Amino acid sequence: MRYLPHTEADRRAMLGTIGVAGIEALFADVPPSKLRSDLPDLPKRQSEMAVERALSAMAARNVPAGSVPFFAGCGAYKHHVPATVDYVIQRSEFMTAYTPYQPEIAQGTLQYLFEFQTQVAALTGMEIANASMYDGSTAAAEAVLMAHRLTKRKKAVLAGGLHPHYRAVIETVSHHSGFAVAAAAADPATSFDVTCDADTSCIVVQTPDVFGRVSDLTALSAKAHECGALLIVAVTEAVSFGALKSPGAMGADIVVAEGQSIGNGLNFGGPYLGLLACRKKFVRQMPGRLCGETVDEDGRRGFVLTLSTREQHIRREKATSNICTNSGLCVLAFSAHLTLLGEAGIRKLAALNHANAVALAKALAEVPGVEVITPAFFNEFTIKTSKASSAVIDALADRGIIGGVPASRLWPGTPPLENLIVVAATEVTTPNDIAAYKAALSEVLHG
């Protein structure tokens, strides 16, 4: 794409059209303390080759997840993605219009979205699912807004085990929408320290939670319903659906999840895909698009957009949301991978994840100065170390081990959490990886 800079005449014409005297007026609402008074410490100009060299040197400092023993998780997980998935998502029959406004030319897109919805509903144990969200965190925020609309209440209660990034997105969206949020403090020893009152529209809880704890939500569901609130369940590790009791079976009203674990790599943090499913009776307030099955005039099976309560489709004041879709390619990759696995395959994959995590927990527990503090987990758990977690993680990285996520990174300035590390193992974790982690951690703590 060519770079076409604006001329002074261009700038004067644009400023005159919007009625301001100069560019400075465009930033009048920004506090002066937030504006730079000098230029950033960057070269003013470089040749194209010099820029390439500088960027290459920066990129060389990165450590690819597959090149070293890797135990980081906390919402983004390293799983194997079959080569078949990449082949399928590049097939021409799926390369139809991304936004399927015209079903006669977008049957490929509509069909895989329909199949995706079916898969998500089955995984979550819910009655209906939409055609995806941006990611797990924004799906959680959308679910909270949905609960407010359904209950006519204005406060969301967040459990302490909810991922802090999900919590932050919910708080940001709620703040700018005029809703209240009551969030419990993060505590690896307490699962659901939440209260519910007449103003509460929903309780948002995660399982497995950010510390890796697996919990039965049946009693919490009853508690929420008793006070007229909805139970929203968030899941950051989609593979766990293959092993654990579904949120729907535990009484969830709305389920949101991050779907990255199935069919999608880490991808430097994105793009990912959000899952959202709910009870059928709530469908009119569900954000996003819903694909349905129909027949054409010749009686042949076909697919259409059945419900689209997006701002793009209807009046803004009637829209449930305007952030209610994602990169369709991520959805297709998810659906292709899950189709390859089938029900038996996803259960076997989940069992392998859990077995590797159990082996890792046993190995790390043998290191003096390490305590596994998560009593029940799927493929992720929390350890407590005798030294500060951030320093331990840095020392492990120097030894070629990506040892997990220090709790101090998720909750900075929280002393009770400073010695905790959230550790994940998946099907790609090998016995040699576990042995290397154990040896390196012992050296870091006692070497």
Domains of the chain, with CATH numbers? 65-78+343-446 (3.90.1150.10), 83-338 (3.40.640.10)
Query: According to the model, what pLDDT value does residue 215 have?
Result: 94
Query: According to the model, what pLDDT value does residue 314 have?
Result: 65
Segments of 207-339 assigned E as strands: 230-235, 254-258, 274-278, 289-295, 301-308
How far is residue 338's CA from residue 361's CA, in Å, rounded to a whole number? Answer: 28
Side-chain half-sphere exposure of 194, counting CA atoms within 13 A = 30
Tell me the percentage of the chain whose pLDDT exceeds 90. Answer: 74
Residue 345 pLDDT grade (very low, low, confident, very high; cuts 50, 70, 90): very high
Q: CA torsion, points 301, 307, 311, 315, in degrees to nearest 10?
A: 120
pLDDT tens figures, 186-237: 998 876 778 899 999 999 999 999 999 999 999 999 999 999 999 999 999 9
Mean pLDDT for all residues in the chain: 92
DSSP-based three-state secondary structure for 222: helix
pLDDT tens figures, 378-401: 999 999 999 999 999 999 999 999
| CB neighbour list of residue 381: distance below 8 Å, 6 or more residues apart | 211, 212, 357, 361, 372, 373, 374, 422, 423
Segments of 151-261 assigned E as strands: 155-158, 180-183, 200-206, 230-235, 254-258
- CA-based Rg of the chain, rounded to a whole angstrom? 24
Query: According to the model, what pLDDT value does residue 65 have?
Result: 87
Residue 315 pLDDT grade (very low, low, confident, very high; cuts 50, 70, 90): low
Kindly report the CA angle at 332 between 263 and 137, in degrees rounded to 5?
A: 70
- Greater confidence (212 vs 6) lies with 212
Residue 97 pLDDT grade (very low, low, confident, very high; cuts 50, 70, 90): low
What is the DSSP pairing of strand 200-206 with strand 230-235?
A: parallel
pLDDT at 324 over 70: no
Least confident of 10-19, 88-97, 253-262: 88-97
Query: According to the model, what pLDDT value does residue 268 have?
Result: 87
Report the candidate in 343, 418, 425 with the shortest Cα–Cα distance to residue 385.
418
How far is residue 421's CA from residue 30's CA, in Å, rounded to a whole number? Answer: 38
pLDDT tens figures, 181-197: 999 999 988 767 788 99
Residue 92 pLDDT grade (very low, low, confident, very high; cuts 50, 70, 90): confident
- Greater confidence (137 vs 40) lies with 137
385 sits in the region (left: phi over 0; alpha: psi -120 to 50; else beta) called beta
| Cβ atoms 127, 278 nearer than 8 A | yes
